Chain A
């Protein structure tokens, strides 16, 4: 199987600066407090995804999933290691980032299409299909600021799925409100997967991931803990969540008792 995505020993550290102005820095320095903290978001992640695979990145909040997705999309470079991708990468990373509120739906289709790498002819040929999928009807020539949040998401999602990337990155977007449209999106992703394209998905819905993905990668504190079948990964996610919930309950009880 040809490789679509090769992630080799990727690490990413973030610096948290506590003080930005000269005054705050001086104050903190005088109090001998730290000026910055570093934390490791990704720690030596190695992963190879073949063409046509649908991989779920799972893990509790702060495990580095979204950071990894951003590194794959090229928005952030890794501190160490390397990432290589075959073909066009498009991300559904918080859809709607490229939609401009003052432009009409129609103009946004062209602008956002271009941002995601389509040229004019490609956008023109897909235009009707994009509009039909988004189902925004007469609002097409209205500025996007007047759209309901559902319509906004539908348009953004519709443009993104029509870019036909070779590697499709999806981050948390399937939380799109309206259940009908959600169904449509998921069907679209199924179709997309069946056509042999590669997907990397971050989502919190374990059931959905089980349906959609063939492989699961479980991340914890920026490290890959499990890389294999999706069912195990999804079970691990549920188990981890349960643990977290219990821990926070215990903490709540403890503070309750302490009072």
Chain B
């Protein structure tokens, strides 16, 4: 990219500004009204003409849940090893679904709005951020169900539970939007990106302690393998959600990895750095969006 010398506009012209100079994510915050309308449009358009409408956001996790519950819980006997296995798995599942949906939808978000991006200047970060917010909307019913079941099993609010849930959510949301910004920009130039993302989501589903407890990894993998496993922010996020929704309903004998909260905070900081990097990459690449689309 050439950076041309920018001649000063002259002392009399402080109001002459360069068009299309995006302020990135800060600009998105400034245009919250537009963001809200775009999120509403996404939600509306996705369920246009479908009978169930937003009900689909319940059906998909329910189907996932049923498959995993019968295969892992019943056939593989995980229900016997883990107390209250359904809520154990479901609390991980809502978070994993949230992450996968965020990543897939943000990846498509720029390309999906190509007609708009080609013709009108908007801060382009709007589209990935809108996708993230749509995923958040879809996360709510899942969390509500998890909470409902947990309460039925004797869950009571505690600082640990609520803090774990918030930390887990923050970690995964930051990771999702950080990666999403990079993937959505790359997808404009390489249409392979969504295939890679698709495969990545498969790994995410199986590389987190969702249908098996993390202790199985501890007991079978070598020490460095466990370290590697626990350095995956998604695994940590799922552990946090389990500590938030599942653990308080059990007899509390299950142990989480030592220093889980500390690790999560470190990963959150790294996640914020990744978000910064994502913003940087996006800002660089978005200059060529209009000609590439």
Q: Chain A residues in contact with chain B, CB under 8 A?
A: 2-3, 6, 8-9, 14, 70, 72-87, 89, 91, 93-94, 97-98, 100, 102-103, 107, 110-111, 114-116, 119-120, 143
Chain B residues 27 to 78 lying within 8 A of chain A, measured CB to CB, are 31, 33-34, 37-38, 41, 44-45, 48
18 A-B contacts (beta carbon < 8 Å): A2-B13, A8-B7, A9-B4, A74-B18, A75-B121, A76-B290, A79-B4, A80-B4, A81-B4, A83-B18, A84-B9, A84-B18, A86-B13, A97-B119, A100-B45, A114-B33, A115-B122, A120-B33
Judged by a CB distance under 8 angstroms, whether B17 is at the interface is yes
Nearest Cβ distance between residue A39 and chain B, in whole angstroms?
12
A119 proximity list for chain B (CB < 8 A): 33
Judged by a CB distance under 8 angstroms, whether B120 is at the interface is yes
B19 proximity list for chain A (CB < 8 A): 72-74, 83-85, 89
Judged by a CB distance under 8 angstroms, whether B291 is at the interface is yes
Contact check, B116 vs A97: say whether CB atoms are below 8 A apart.
yes
Give me 9 other A-B pairs in contact (C-beta within 8 A), A72-B19, A74-B18, A107-B41 excluded: A3-B16, A14-B291, A73-B19, A77-B20, A98-B120, A100-B45, A102-B44, A115-B122, A119-B33
Q: Which residue from B15, B16, B119 sits with its C-beta under 8 Å from A91? A: B119
Q: Which residue of A lies closest to B117 (CB)?
A: A75
Q: Which residue from B6, B21, B118 sits with its C-beta under 8 Å from A75? A: B118
A114 proximity list for chain B (CB < 8 A): 31, 33-34, 37
Instruction: Please measure, in the bound complex, the distance between the C-alpha atom of A8 and the C-alpha atom of B21, giving whole angstroms.
Output: 16
A73 proximity list for chain B (CB < 8 A): 19-20, 120-121
B287 proximity list for chain A (CB < 8 A): 76-77
Q: Which residue from A76, A97, A110 sits with its C-beta under 8 Å from B291? A: A76
B119 proximity list for chain A (CB < 8 A): 70, 75, 91, 93-94, 97-98
Q: Which residue from A2, A75, A78, A98 sits with its C-beta under 8 Å from B4? A: A78
Q: Count how many chain B residues have C-beta atoms less than 8 Å from C-beta atoms of the other chain.
A: 34
Judged by a CB distance under 8 angstroms, whether B257 is at the interface is no
B158 proximity list for chain A (CB < 8 A): none
B21 proximity list for chain A (CB < 8 A): 74
Chain B residues 114 to 128 lying within 8 A of chain A, measured CB to CB, are 115-122
Produce 1/0 per residue, B120-142, CB < 8 A to A.
11100000000000000000000
Instruction: Please measure, in the bound complex, the distance between the C-alpha atom of A214 and the C-alpha atom of B175, giving whole angstroms.
Output: 54
Contact check, B37 vs A111: say whether CB atoms are below 8 A apart.
yes
Given A75-B290, A79-B2, A110-B37, check contact A85 B118 (CB 8 Å): no
Q: Which residue of B lies closest to A94 (CB)?
A: B119
B4 proximity list for chain A (CB < 8 A): 9, 78-82
Contact check, A82 vs B120: say whether CB atoms are below 8 A apart.
no
Instruction: Please measure, in the bound complex, the distance between the C-alpha atom of A3 and the C-alpha atom of B15, giving whole angstroms.
Output: 10
Instruction: Please measure, in the bound complex, the distance between the C-alpha atom of A229 and the C-alpha atom of B7, giving whole angstroms.
Output: 28
Contact check, B44 vs A75: say whether CB atoms are below 8 A apart.
no
A83 proximity list for chain B (CB < 8 A): 18-19
B116 proximity list for chain A (CB < 8 A): 97-98, 115
A79 proximity list for chain B (CB < 8 A): 2, 4
Instruction: Please measure, in the bound complex, the distance between the C-alpha atom of A13 and the C-alpha atom of B45, giving whole angstroms.
Output: 37
Q: Which residue of B lies closest to A92 (CB)?
A: B119
A115 proximity list for chain B (CB < 8 A): 34, 116, 120, 122
Instruction: Please measure, in the bound complex, the distance between the C-alpha atom of A86 and the C-alpha atom of B116, giving whole angstroms.
Output: 23
Q: Which residue of B lies closest to A78 (CB)?
A: B4
